[in-house]
């Protein structure tokens, strides 16, 4: 309890005991906590739940609004590649081959989405994700 008493601690350690390190620590703490990213909206935006919620909302909205368009795009591309009509596709491809062609088409689209624009190659009959303008055939 000696160090908690102002009179006795002055007799033991002196009035400037730990003053330098205390002042530097206090100054650093005030500077650190006063940064813009240490308060306010940045804390909420860096909260671990925020990107999770945004990702879930984006995923379900994308599935709800874009899934039907994507299905139409895959069907149209398969028809363009394998005969020009639904009957021609059924004649040229078995059900297993149709599934394989669909999986390959999805793979081409999703893989191409992550390529830089100058490396994208557009498979015939597919508009998405789109080629680089210099590679348009």
Between residues 125 and 73, which one has the greater pLDDT?
73
Q: Could you tell me if 118 and 131 are in contact, meaning their C-beta atoms sit under 8 angstroms apart?
A: no
Instruction: Please tell me whether the overall predicted TM-score, pTM, comes out greater than 0.75 for this model.
Output: no
Residue 98, both tokens: 């149709």
What pLDDT score was predicted for residue 13? 76
pLDDT in tens, 63-118: 777 666 677 778 888 888 888 888 998 898 898 988 888 888 888 777 767 777 67
Give the span between the Cα atoms of 57 and 45, in whole angstroms: 15
* Average pLDDT of span 114-125: 67
Crossing angle for the helix pair 49-81 and 95-113, nearest 10 degrees?
Answer: 130
Residue 109, both tokens: 């689209």
CA-derived radius of gyration, the chain:
32
């Amino acid at each position: 309890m000696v160090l908690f008493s102002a009179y006795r601690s002055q007799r033991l350690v002196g009035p400037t005991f730990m003053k330098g390190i205390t002042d530097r620590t206090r100054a650093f703490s005030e500077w650190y906590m006063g940064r813009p990213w240490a308060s306010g909206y940045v804390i909420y935006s860096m909260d671990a739940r925020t990107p999770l919620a945004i990702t879930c909302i984006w995923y379900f909205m994308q599935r709800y609004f874009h899934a039907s368009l994507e299905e139409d795009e895959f069907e149209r591309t398969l028809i363009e590649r394998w005969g020009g009509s639904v009957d021609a596709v059924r004649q040229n491809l078995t059900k297993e081959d149709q599934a394989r062609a669909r999986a390959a088409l999805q793979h081409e689209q999703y893989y191409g989405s992550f390529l830089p624009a100058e490396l994208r190659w557009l498979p015939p009959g597919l508009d998405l994700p789109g080629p680089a303008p210099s590679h348009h055939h």
